Structure 1
């Protein structure tokens, strides 16, 4: 299991990578705004999580109130960033190395 992070100027999320999935940890923030190209299926998933109290509004952002397992790194980064994204690039370890490089064991 790898502990990973997504950090921007406006939010911070933390997760565990295992078996190709990301467990987004309780307290992780999500951007409220979504891009025009955000997939309908992701909008529906977010709405479901909000309706069921798994995601709550904390003022500036949304926040996970419990751990949530996402089926892939990209689905998890999309959920957090509110736009299509490559989870292999956006999820990074504490040293800033991307998940993709960690998986490939790429030291460049």
Structure 2
């Protein structure tokens, strides 16, 4: 599972694109955005999340009381194992040890 939490309402459409990319290596993906985002952006994210199986959560950026609310539950997807293995090899290479 992957979750991308954005604490500002800036560039949320780009953040949604990043969440789509996470679907390559995670069975479920959530995008967590501030409730203060414009209603227009939230409607676009909601419709896109439903169509692509990405979970959408809104929250209040108050660390003492974030008040998370699920707008769309993430659908289960299949991991792209070729891509995941390739990325793991790259990360392992950074530390001198391949993952397999």
Bin the TM-score by the shorter chain.
under 0.3
- Of structures 1 and 2, the larger Rg is shown by 2
More helix by share: 2
TM-score (norm 2): 0.27
More strand by share: 1
